[in-house]
Copies of this chain bind each other. A is one copy, B any other.
Amino acid sequence: MGIIRKTESVEILLNEFQDTETALSTVELITRLGKFMNKTTIYRILEKLEDDGILHSFIGFDGVKRFARCKSCSKSNHSDVHPHFQCISCGKSECLDIEVNIPDMSNREVLFSQLLIKGKCDLCMV
């Protein structure tokens, strides 16, 4: 079930993803937006936005779900197979604009894949 109504909560949430390729964890969003809306609402809206192909998600190395804006996804085709990068210094995680070629597999049907990279981002490399 996707978004049907453009409510205030939806707009506030979408605003957080404006003009950025940074991925935000649910936890992060709850601390940021907790005064504007309930955490349940945050979880529910994120789920709907993902269904609609507006956001995509991945599980970080800490097991916490993160969301980021989609570039070329649709309701039917969540094909955002770019890698995600997580910085061990500042904790920031972001989408990488790099093509990943999934190894060919004869005896398995690949439906989705995600590459997660851990390291130091440009600002933390020193």
Contact = CB atoms under 8 A, between A and B. Distances in A.
Contact of A121 (B61, B98, B108, B119): B108
Contact of A115 (B65, B98, B107, B113): B113
Contacts of A83: 103, 113
Contacts of A117: 102, 108, 110, 112-113
A62 to B, nearest CB: 8
A121 B103 CA distance: 15
A44 interface: no
Q: Give this chain's copy count.
A: 2
A1 interface: no
Interface of A: 59-61, 63-65, 83, 85, 88, 96, 98-100, 102-103, 105, 107-122, 125
Given A59-B63, A108-B121, 6 more contacts: A59-B59, A59-B61, A96-B103, A110-B119, A113-B118, A114-B116
30 contacts: A59-B59, A59-B60, A59-B61, A63-B63, A63-B64, A83-B113, A85-B108, A88-B111, A96-B103, A98-B103, A102-B115, A102-B117, A108-B117, A108-B119, A108-B122, A109-B119, A109-B120, A110-B117, A110-B118, A110-B119, A111-B118, A111-B119, A111-B120, A112-B117, A112-B119, A113-B115, A113-B116, A114-B115, A114-B116, A115-B115
